[in-house]
Structures are given as structure tokens and as C-alpha cells.
Structure 1
């Protein structure tokens, strides 16, 4: 990876995630400790551009902590985070958003007192203006099946609609990398299938790389290119969903246990 000219010096971030690399994200030795508890332990995690990766593992495995390190909500105790050719380890979270990293939280993080259209308008203001503004709002609402709810107060939406709205708000930022924490928690089978189709479209049609934390293994199987299993803050296994599901140790720590 990196430049083919040996006389040109490059940084590790460029070598790992630059234009000549197929990767958008790479962490190296990433650790996060809270007092005596190590939540993320020496994680080397690589993600291809446009890949849809699922992150699974038992409760307390460090999944949400890992996403919060990538978004800058938490500062690592040790290690590096490389993204799109840059070392973002110490970059403030708002600058990471500006570089194309967006996050969809487990509990919908929407503005409940505002209309659906106003919710989309807020992130869209960072990337669009002028004549395209209103057309972009309409385009996003139409894509996420919320056009008829344009003037509806967000608090009046169903849980599934709120999940779609937050994904739409994240996509309004035109991200290169989207991180999602349990996007189908509490949804019906039909709503879960709708979200699965949306995420596949975002990866395949928009070329956005996605990391999805999820406990629903059927949902994981329906969307994931690859699966990473975390346990006790470390990567335990990584591979196709078929290989991960067949692994007896994964079954022991995760798939075969009550959650």
C-alpha cells in the first residue's frame, strides 16, 4: 500500500487508508481504559471502502466504546485511528463529521420538537445551500419513505420511522463512513427488513462504508459482508457470517448464550 515511489515518504495513515489503499478505516493497537477496566484492548480493525461490516459480541464486549473512539466521543488510552488518509486519533469529533464520519445511535438522536423536514435541514446545512437545499430535503425524505411525514413533529413518528429519520439525517452529511449502534432494536420483522434493504443500498449504491453493531444474528446474516466478533474488548474472530456462525468458540461466548 502507499505510493510506489520509494523516494517519497508517506505517513502510516496514508499507507493504511490513503488513495492507493482499499481501506477507509484502520485502527492500530487501540485501547480504552476506564480506571481499572479495559473496555477496548489492543484492537487492530480494518474496514474496506464501501464495505458493510457487522460488529457482534456479548454485552460488555466493548462494541459501543469502539464506535465512540472512532467518532471522537471518547479519547483512546493508547493506539492510533487512521481514516481516509489522515491520523484522526486526536481530532475533535466535529472535525471527523466534517471529514465524512457520521453516527447513528442506539436510541434515536432526533429533535423531537421539530418537524421531520426541520430535522433533516439541520445536518444538511453543513453540506448544501442555495437552490439545491429544498430539493435535497425532499430527496432524502423520499428515499427514507418519510415524504408524507414532512411536516409531522418527529416525536409523533413510530419507532421505526424515527430510526429511518436518523439514518436519513446521517446520510444528509454525505458521509464516507457511517457507524450504527443497534439500528433495528425494538423494530418489527417488517421494519427490520426495510432497514436491512436501506443499509445494503447505502453501501452498494452510495459506496458508504458501514460498521453496524447488532445483536439480531438474522439481521446480521442478511446484510454483512464480513463480521467482527469482540469479546472482553478484543477482536475474538473475524470472517464471513457463515464462518463466524460455525465457530464453536463464538457459539460458546455469544451465539449460544442468553443475551
Structure 2
């Protein structure tokens, strides 16, 4: 299958080949990544529907971050395809995937500490055609609960505030799909609750999410549907209640005796 030169052009055969309907925002088909003799992601078929808030969990080394990097284009697959919003993105560069409506926030904050909080938000807005960048940045600051810190250096923010700022920076591009890699790692209970409320609010407004997370309390707060990855493959998928009650999941992930 050829790679589209323009990632905004919808490729109908790519959708048809996935055997999914048009509600699917993200589809991976037989997605595989090998590093020498190690198979980090093994023939993963993963589908996320429009408006969904899906959590991806699993033990360390399960392949979660590698799967994320394959979806975002930071890694090239050994085999398989990635479809996003009806487009085959398998061979499309990372920056073009962002332009197509896919955004990502990795575990460690990537902000400009010497710039103010407002200036950090204005940087991604320059990729858009909006002529009201300052007001758009202020709206986002209100949304992520940082309006009172607009003029503060971003480096002065707490860890949790920096995480919220980076989520805000990603949402300014109004992505179709937001990918979050352990967004509450290292946060206090209060900060975690604040980020959970933010993600839920953005999802209620229509944004689709895939969230990689270890904190099961956080997963319960934000997600109804959960995918469990183990040894590079999808182990279980279902409602959070089913996943937590599954004895095999308890053994491999939750560290509990069956």
C-alpha cells in the first residue's frame, strides 16, 4: 500500500482493509516491532473509537511505550500497519501525523522552563491558522487551571502543574486523538485528581484519548474500557470492572494471588 503524500487525504481502501466502521479513529493491524531477537510488540490489533477514553495498562516491559512510539511514528514497525482517522499513517513522518490530528504527551514534561506559562502555550498555537493566539492561550490556561500562573516562568511550576501545562500545549492543536504516557507519574493525590478531572472534561467535550498508566486508582477515575498488554501482545480488553476481577490479570499486572 502506498504512503499518502498528504496525510489529510482520506484513503478509502485503508479503512476497508481494517474491517472496521468509520467510528474507528485509531486502528493498528498486525503491528509488530522487533529489536534483534526481542519482539517488543507482537502482532497487535488495537482499535479505538471516536470519543473513547481508553486506558492501556500492563506490567513493565509489556510493550506499552513501544506501541505508543509506533503509533506516533517515532519508531517504524517491523510489520503491520497504523491507520488513523481512515488514513494509512504507517510510513508518514511524526510531524505530519500531528498535522493530521494526532497529539502525544510523554511521561516527562517537555516544556520551555525559561518562558512564561502563557508563552509555552503560544508556541504550538503558531502551528495553527488562528489570529487570536493570546486569547486562545488564555482560554486553554483557564481550561487546565493555570490562569493564575500565566506570567510565571514555566520552570517555577510544580510537577503536576507542568504536566497540566503540557497537556494544555497538546490540546491547543485541537487533536482528534490525544495519547498520554503516564500523565500522573510522580504526582500527589491532589494533583492526580486534578488531572483526572481535566482529562474527563476534555473527553466530555469530544476529544478521544489513549492513556498509558500504572496507577489503577487513576484508571478507575477516567476510563471505562481498558486494554491489558503483556509480553508485547494484547492480553485482555474490557470494562474496568471485568479487568480488575480477572484472576490472570491480577497475577501478571496487579501482583495479587489468584
Fold match (TM-score > 0.5): yes
- Identify the residue that residue 127 of structure 1 maps to in structure 2: 128
- Identify the residue that residue 114 of structure 1 maps to in structure 2: 115
Q: Tell me by how many angstroms 1:16 deviates.
A: 4.5
Contact 1:17–1:85 (8 Å) recurs in 2: no
- Identify the residue that residue 217 of structure 2 maps to in structure 1: 218
- Identify the residue that residue 3 of structure 2 maps to in structure 1: none
Q: Is 1:94 paired with 2:71? A: no
Provide the C-alpha distance between the structure 1 equivalents of 2:226 and 2:24, rounded to a whole number of angstroms: 16
Provide the C-alpha distance between the structure 1 equivalents of 2:19 and 2:135, rounded to a whole number of angstroms: 33
Provide the C-alpha distance between the structure 2 equivalents of 1:176 and 1:229, rounded to a whole number of angstroms: 23
Provide the C-alpha distance between the structure 2 equivalents of 1:181 and 1:17, rounded to a whole number of angstroms: 28
Provide the C-alpha distance between the structure 1 equivalents of 2:130 and 2:201, rounded to a whole number of angstroms: 25
Q: Secondary structure at the match of 2:141?
A: helix
Provide the C-alpha distance between the structure 2 equivalents of 1:14 and 1:96, rounded to a whole number of angstroms: 20
Q: Tell me by how many angstroms 1:208 deviates.
A: 1.2
Distance 1:17 1:24, change over 3 A: farther
Q: Is 1:64 paired with 2:65? A: yes
Give ranges in structure 1 of 5+ residues lacking alignment. Answer: 1-8
Provide the C-alpha distance between the structure 2 equivalents of 1:137 and 1:111, rounded to a whole number of angstroms: 15
Provide the C-alpha distance between the structure 2 equivalents of 1:44 and 1:80, rounded to a whole number of angstroms: 9
- Identify the residue that residue 251 of structure 1 maps to in structure 2: 250
1:209-250, Cα deviation, whole Å (9 max, x unpaired) = 101011011110111120000000000000000000011100
- Identify the residue that residue 14 of structure 2 maps to in structure 1: 12
Q: Tell me by how many angstroms 1:14 deviates.
A: 5.3
Provide the C-alpha distance between the structure 2 equivalents of 1:61 and 1:139, rounded to a whole number of angstroms: 38
Provide the C-alpha distance between the structure 2 equivalents of 1:17 and 1:83, rounded to a whole number of angstroms: 14
State how many pairs are aligned: 247
- Identify the residue that residue 169 of structure 2 maps to in structure 1: 169
Contact 2:12–2:86 (8 Å) recurs in 1: no
Contact 2:18–2:29 (8 Å) recurs in 1: no
1:114-146, Cα deviation, whole Å (9 max, x unpaired) = 11111101111111432x221101101111111
Q: Tell me by how many angstroms 1:59 deviates.
A: 0.1
TM-score w.r.t. length of structure 2: 0.92
Q: Secondary structure at the match of 1:11?
A: helix
Which shifted more, 109-118 or 171-180?
109-118
Provide the C-alpha distance between the structure 2 equivalents of 1:50 and 1:113, rounded to a whole number of angstroms: 35
- Identify the residue that residue 54 of structure 2 maps to in structure 1: 53
Provide the C-alpha distance between the structure 2 equivalents of 1:123 and 1:13, rounded to a whole number of angstroms: 30
- Identify the residue that residue 158 of structure 1 maps to in structure 2: 158
Provide the C-alpha distance between the structure 2 equivalents of 1:252 and 1:133, rounded to a whole number of angstroms: 49
Provide the C-alpha distance between the structure 2 equivalents of 1:135 and 1:195, rounded to a whole number of angstroms: 23
Give ranges in structure 2 of 5+ residues lacking alignment. Answer: 1-10
Provide the C-alpha distance between the structure 2 equivalents of 1:15 and 1:194, rounded to a whole number of angstroms: 40
Instruction: Spell out structure 1 runs of 4+ moving beyond 6 A.
Output: none
RMSD: 1.7
Provide the C-alpha distance between the structure 2 equivalents of 1:14 and 1:190, rounded to a whole number of angstroms: 45
